[in-house]
Amino acid sequence: MSEHRIELTVNGHRHAALVEARTSLGEFLREELGYTGTHLACEHGVCGACTVMVDGVAMRSCLMLAVQANGGAVTTVEGLAEPDGTLHPVQQALKDNFGLQCGFCTPGVAITMAAVTRENEGAGAGQIEKALTAAMSGHICRCTGYQGIRRAIRQLAGATT
């Protein structure tokens, strides 16, 4: 199997490594770099648990090869909070609204929410809520029935009720 040298940043930290061509970005993040907050479950693009941001865009890290992230800037769930531990607004909203139970799906949910809120910065509450709700169709949560996640979305969107 051929190996390739890649360089990328993860949560602001620079990494260089030799990776096999077949290694997924998710596997590389978890097994080589230790970012185990990125969860791998279905590994065929359905569940959303493996979602990370690559250059600001939410991506399935099980469907993306590590070599495709060469030169990119990756954000995992470990990179969402501030260095002093202050939660990202998305994390705070999920916490405030019981938008998680076992937490397995949560890293992917939080990354997608962070990407979508950033993409919709400055938009009205209705548009943000709609965009976030649509984005959640790409995430499977076995625990919450999505109600807590929906409440978190409304909080993030600035909805009043």
List of residues contacting ligand FES (CB under 6 A)? 40-43, 45-50, 60, 62, 100-106, 141-144
Copy the structure tokens of residue 102. 């076992």
Shortest Å distance, C-beta 48 to ligand FES: 5
Shortest Å distance, C-beta 27 to ligand FES: 10
Closest to ligand FES by CB, 33 or 141: 141
CA distance 161 to 99: 16
Closest to ligand FES by CB, 127 or 147: 147
* CA nearest neighbour of 136 among 78, 77, 89, 90: 90
Copy the structure tokens of residue 76. 């995992």
Closest to ligand FES by CB, 101 or 123: 101
User: Could you write out the DSSP letters of every residue in 41-60?
Assistant: SSSSSSS-TTEEEETTEEEE
CA distance 21 to 148: 39
Closest to ligand FES by CB, 74 or 100: 100
Shortest Å distance, C-beta 46 to ligand FES: 5
Shortest Å distance, C-beta 136 to ligand FES: 11
Copy the structure tokens of residue 34. 């230790």
